């Protein structure tokens, strides 16, 4: 996994999720610690970027699902967790290990995947 620099830990806002790695991940700060998660809510795979952080809890900006910022565990259902990425802080700089980006997919491919997974409730 390649490591990317996300800047100085003190420059990260403590109140919202910041998009990193071409939008593949979000970085959150709680105190002097940083955590990285896949930029995807467990609810409907909506982006977490821009989500608010208050009292150590991330709130998804679309449907308001909530996660513990330091573990990625869904509030009230700790067995559900956001996908996380390794983070380390060296000399005040946040370094995040992100997987290589997957191949880009066309809108048609994404819609076909969605159609295959869609449960219409008719049977």
Alpha-helical runs (H) found in the chain: 107-117
Hunting for tokens 């700089």 — which residue is that?
93
What domains are defined for the chain?
3-117 (2.102.10.10)
Q: Over its length of 123 residues, how does the chain's per-residue pLDDT go in tens digits? A: 789 999 999 999 999 999 998 899 999 999 889 999 999 999 988 999 999 999 999 999 999 999 999 999 999 999 999 999 999 999 999 999 998 877 777 878 878 887 887 766 665
For residue 120 the two structure tokens come to: 């219409």
């Amino acid at each position: 996994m390649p490591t990317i620099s996300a800047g100085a830990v003190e420059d990260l806002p403590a109140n919202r999720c910041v998009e990193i790695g071409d939008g593949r991940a979000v970085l959150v700060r709680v105190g002097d610690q940083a955590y990285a998660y896949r930029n995807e809510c467990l609810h409907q795979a909506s982006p977490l970027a821009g989500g608010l952080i208050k009292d150590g809890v991330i709130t998804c900006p679309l449907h308001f699902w909530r996660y513990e910022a330091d573990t990625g565990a869904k509030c009230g259902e700790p067995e559900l967790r956001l996908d996380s990425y390794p983070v380390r802080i060296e000399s005040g700089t946040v370094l995040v290990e992100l997987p290589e980006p997957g191949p880009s997919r066309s809108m048609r491919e994404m819609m076909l995947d969605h159609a295959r997974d869609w449960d219409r409730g008719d049977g």
